[in-house]
Chains A and B, each alone.
Chain A
Amino acid sequence: MTPVSHRVVGRRVETADVVTLQLEATDGSRLRYAAGQFNMLYAYAVGEVAISISANPLGGGPIAHTVRNVGSVSRALCGLQIGDTLGLRGPFGSDWGLDSAAGGDLVIVAGGIGLAPLRSVITQVIAERDRFGTVEIVIGTRTPEELAFKAEVESWRARSDLSVHVTVDRATPGWRGTVGVVTTVLPRVHCDPAAIALVCGPEVMMRFTALALMERGMPASRIRVSMERNMQCAIAQCGHCQLGSVFVCADGPVFTWERLEPLLAVRQL
């Protein structure tokens, strides 16, 4: 699949090292995608990296990607300005499977930049709020300053049909919210064993979160997590993203915890 040229039509600095880019294809084509999928973004002359889509799939606007500056490619992407172009291949991978969660409760748990792929879900759930039962959103970050999508999170908190909990590892002066890791919030959220949990963040955070959700009675089959791996081909060819017998790029990035846990338990592959 050849990258399609896209132009940056919007750019928002989320935190000191996180930027959201809004993109439109230069040929006017529109990408159809589902919440949870990712694209390969190509910073010309630098390289390509897999980035989750952070926009509402039903929104109809530009596609959005939220990028954290953690290496040469993501640094180049974060440096793009409105009017600049980049290459985009996708969408790839499995999605959060929101349709199969309709009619039930949702527990959404985000850690750090893991909020980006979940923003795609949360905005879709808000747009189709009647399709779901209670919606609990738990967001953990290192510090208040590292919370992405601050204004949107505030607007979610203001809604009476969402229950939003933000917690930080380290408070800074003036922070009046909760301090503690995400797992310490979970005992206080409405968590029916029949709910579907959607979890995204670094691997260790997802592991502890899945364990805490299971302590609340949720079966591993109802906990969905989104895996991050270094991707190259994104079409199950190169093996870069392989985890045991699965290709994260094609079989994932969204897996049930039931499927993923035995793969993560293997300490060396």
Chain B
Amino acid sequence: MTTTAQVREHLRGWAMPHVLCPGCAHGIVGRAFLSAVDDVGIDPDQMAVVAGIGCSSRLVGYLDFCTLHATHGRAPSFAAGIKLARPELTVAVFSGDGDGLAIGGNHLIHAARRNIDLTVVLFNNEIYGMTGGQAAPTTSVGAIASTAPRGSVESPFDACKLMIGAGATFVARAAASEPYTLARIFADALDHEGLSFVEVLSDCPTYFGRYNKLGSGPEMLAAITRSDNRIAIPLAGKRSIPTIDPPDLPPGVELGTLHREHRPVFTGRAGGAT
């Protein structure tokens, strides 16, 4: 992982500090992404990042690449246009769970179906942050949101399963609390030819943390780690560990690279240079 001093070369320093709340893990995710861009050796002038609307999307404005702040949910479609017109660029999409899976769900699954050579980063914090803490398509059953004051009753999406089903050729899930693994997965995703989808377990201390009494930035980062199946499942069986109360554990999730295949990419089929 590159140092902060190196990573800062990719920031628009004049725009910093960024607008995100104190302790919001989105910044950690952005940092790991910049580190991966360096590790893969992508020329910053050949890197394009497209964002929709939302807290995570706001990050794009601070990246010193070719950046585009697009309309709500439509980032994958803008990105597809860039990739078709300028296939030599490495194109990534930053999207939140609301932006990507609700407003832009349609655009996301069709980008996967077409296997457009993009890297889509989905910041999942189980809530709409910027618009005031409404329940998102990823909010866990029982979690409090401003539109679910007594707990959400809807089943959330499993974004990775959705994207595997839709035809994405690289699908991974990683946690903001593990920045080194996250950076490595981003590097793999950027290297992959075809639609790479990385769901990142991030957080929102301001809304999700406050509504659900999960604490602020440090506590929420620790909670992300505990939602990892590799940790949660073995620990759940160990009642001898006093701080772990098995019934209270959130349902565990699988982390890591979940799917990888090779399929012709859209730009090639459409006759553009690849």
A, B: real partners: no
Chain B interface (Cβ within 8 Å of chain A)? Answer: none
